[in-house]
Chains A and B, each alone.
Chain A
């Protein structure tokens, strides 16, 4: 596990695979808390109105129940939601955050209770000053409650499968006529350069047309400087198509090559 201050936590599974969790920043966490605070305030107000119906029987009972319901809502909100929404409150869900065990496991109930009860210290003297400072200083962006409970808050974007159509498109590649140059290209291009070329194609639609032309020209020039294909197959090829042909060569090994 990573010991330095970082925005991600690398976890090695018993299978030997390493994956990383993106740690939520103190600012994002504060925003999630602000949303939750607004929801709690609304819920408490609503409960208060409902409890006031008890005024029919007794003003004393209505006030007493209001005090208790305020207490239960303000303390129980985080505990109940993190328990039943798998580490998320409404604020955290809106901002794509989730509380997790610091080893990447699901939370157990004791951890949820402790991290929520320790808000009493983290929120001192006001607006989570203690918790915020500790969070900034902590290697894993933990407030005191997280440290005590062994939890972390991670950014939890549920990633959809990337658009792979561009990679999977099966078109004729004129470079295939020169297998020895293809082999040299695979040898000369580093994984970093290959990745840049691939990403430039995958993110084609995210780029402004002007920027795209400039970027593709730079990448194509770079690839051409490594291996030069004969003019008969490059003539009339746009920079983008040149990169596509190179990426196809780089990321699609021939069966005969294996």
Chain B
């Protein structure tokens, strides 16, 4: 029932010290690579400490030594059973042209759902502004969107310069960071069983649909397309992918989409890297969209012809479609 504690400690303490010094060294320098001999020694010491812990837990109620051994074993356990990710170097090219589009395609149904929710919001916003003139005041509650589209177009085309001259970098930086934060929130709200994600996607759709309806009804479709397409062609898909990530998170929480057999913990573990990949792609897209919106979108005719701006937007959409459809597709033999 009670072991010979003195003999036990006297015999084992040297091995505990050796294990502790290896652990200290690994923790001080995480990238340390052990030789085969050192790995073998580390493994043996871990097993010995584990066995000692088992003995002291079974035969004695001595808490100080037990806690000390538990601390050693738990530290060593994390090292011995670590995942292999540490050894793999991050390859940005492989990630960008392989992992990202592959992940997008793997969860394409959720992207379509995200798109459908935003389109639903857009239809609602468009109809609201089209049918009720007072709706514009409520839905488009931003000063620059309250202006009559015809007056704005006349003013912008007459002034012939970017109203953001002297603050383009500031504006562009603000847009990037703000939109990335909103996208992260859209993804993170997947934890609310997707309710928060759906609300954000729908409300973005309402706003977009209301703006589109307002300008089209005012006969300013060309200006609208020239204004929104250059950056919107990338920004809107980015928000949709953030929604896709949010819905993916929600699906893991709820347990649908073919993961019914797994626990929630296992489902979440299964999608963690996909979430990071998707949100990483979103961030890249929003950096690009921010640059375009700050430096190009605010120039209108006669400085920049609408055909050029619309053409640029269409080209971006086409490139995005090509990228997400074919990049990283494994060729069959």
- Interface residues of chain A, those whose CB is within 8 Å of chain B, are 11, 13-21, 58, 60-61, 63-65, 67-68, 70-71, 84, 86, 100-102, 104-106, 108-111, 113-114, 117-118, 120-121, 144, 147-150, 157-162, 164, 167-168, 186, 191-192, 194-195, 198-199, 202, 250-253
- Chain B residues 81-129 with CB under 8 Å of chain A are 81-83, 85-86
Chain A CB within 10 A, most for which of B1, B86, B168, B196? B1
Chain A residues whose C-beta falls within 8 Å of the C-beta of B79 in the assembled complex:
106
B residues within 8 Å of A by Cβ? 1-7, 9-10, 13, 16-17, 20, 27, 30, 47, 50-51, 53-54, 57, 60-65, 67-68, 70-71, 73-74, 77-79, 81-83, 85-86, 166-170, 172-174, 176-177, 180-181, 184-185, 187-189, 191-192, 196, 249, 265, 268-269, 272-273, 275-276, 279
Instruction: Return the chain B residue nearest A250 by Cβ.
Output: B2
Q: A60-B169, A71-B177 are in contact. List 5 more A-B contacts (CB 8 A).
A: A19-B70, A71-B176, A164-B65, A167-B5, A198-B5
Q: How far is it, in angstroms, between the C-alpha of A13 and the C-alpha of B166 when the chains are bound?
A: 62
B5 pairs with A251, CB closer than 8 A: yes
CB neighbours of A117 from chain B (8 A):
184, 187-188, 279
Residue numbers in B under 8 Å from A167 (CB-CB): 5-6, 9
How many angstroms from the CA of A67 to the CA of B174 in the assembled complex? 7
Chain B hits for A100, CB < 8 A: 78
A60 to B162, CA, bound (A): 15
For the residues of B in contact with A, the DSSP-based class is helix
Q: A60 touching B170 by the CB < 8 A rule?
A: yes
Q: A60-B166, A114-B272 are in contact. Are A148 and B7 (CB under 8 A)?
A: no
Give the chain A neighbours of B275 by CB distance below 8 A: 110, 114
- The answer to whether A110 and B276 have CB atoms under 8 Å apart is yes
CA distance A123 to B163 in the complex (A): 36
Interchain nearest-CB distance for B24 vs A (Å): 8
CA distance A11 to B75 in the complex (A): 12
Looking at the assembled complex, report how far the CB atom of B161 sits from the nearest CB atom of chain A, in whole angstroms: 15
With contacts A67-B170, A121-B191, A148-B268 taken as known, whether A162 is within 8 angstroms of B65 at the C-beta atoms is yes
Q: B73 and A61: CB pair below 8 A?
A: no
Q: How far is the CB of B44 from chain A (nearest CB, A)?
A: 12
Which residues from B are CB-within-8-Å of A111?
272
Q: In the complex, are the beta carbons of B191 and A118 less than 8 A apart?
A: yes
Residue of B nearest to A149 (CB): B272
Q: How far is the CA of A85 from the CA of B273 in the complex (A)?
A: 21
